[in-house]
Structure 1
Amino acid sequence: MSRDSAAHIVWHPTTVTKKDRLERAGHKSCILWFTGLSGAGKSTLANAVEYELHQRGLASYVLDGDNIRHGLNRGLGFGPDDRKENIRRIGEVAKLFVDAGVITLTAFISPYREDRELARGLVAAGEFIEVYVKCPLSECERRDVKGLYQKARNGEIPQFTGISSPYEEPDAAELVIESDAQTIRESVQTVLVYLEQKGII
């Protein structure tokens, strides 16, 4: 879209507001942004947390990196520019989910700090919760049932995070989950307690 075309687009306010949606839901909305290496356990943890939120009757949804690349972000590659666009798009989608009153869990490698901070800036203070699923590269490789790391080391997969492409660890994530040391139950409880303490649930 050209800059001239964009100048004619005006945000149309909705009749039902975010405040209305939150009051009906009975809880606040936010983005739980799970980041970490491939194989660290982001998707597993995000889905386990969502299960518990669903059991409590709370509105939630998981946006998973692989799943999103089957549709919305199909056609994007793994170079720096495409990775940036991948995260920009999911940040905008997550922002809409937050406006809809949904606790949104995103499971993306999202290797660059700058891109994660751009996503953080899309929502209000306190609505972006960075969850660093920390796991040693050696353990991620050991868990890799798809053999992606070995293919990357063999040069079959270019620009693979942790091997031929960098992963920038969060400087100050709201939560750090050491998935090689904590059980899934402990990890889920850590996230739920944080949400309770912050008055989100």
Structure 2
Amino acid sequence: MATARDLLTVALDAAPGRRAETGDLSLALAGAELLDLMDLRALTLDGVLIVPSDPPVTDDRLLREAADALTRQPPYESVEDWLWRRGQGLSSAYLAAFEEEGLIARQRRRWLPAWTGEAVLADSPARRRAADRWASAEPVLAALGTAIGIRETPVDEVPEVTEGAAGTVLAAVDDAVTELTAVRQRRAVEKAAFDNIWRGP
């Protein structure tokens, strides 16, 4: 199941007022990769620790890179540490891969080069599959969408995933996004206070 790719697809398809923050999306993509690698039996969780197993058999280059990035010797990495390490700039890496594969294009704007335009999804089987999964409120994808603020369906209408390894990963994603949001808010307050000092009475 291509949860990471489906998540980026529905995030790009989200209404303008529900676009995910880049950092939030990167954290959620890192969590989605763990879920995809678990489905491929490339890792298991020992509590909150990621225990790698055999390399995954997949055509997805980014998933292979994710598997290669796993810490393969004890002490193993925690899910939380993985999210922050792997999530660094991950949404940009996925966007670049989508563009290379022809899954997105840059919307050309007058007088500007094509690469400066907004990323727009091309019509493709992958996009339709992600849209179907999203519309059906598949629990894992819905939980990730809720964590990054792109899910319009009320939380109590989406089946909750709280048990097992998937529940552990989703809880870690939610906690990491909450932490990043708090950091952004604190920086915004500090910037506003700094601006007020220079503005004066």
Q: Which has the bigger relative contact order, CA under 8 A and spacing at least 6? A: 1
Higher strand share: 1
- TM-score w.r.t. the length of structure 1 is 0.25
- TM-score w.r.t. the length of structure 2 is 0.25
Higher helix share: 2
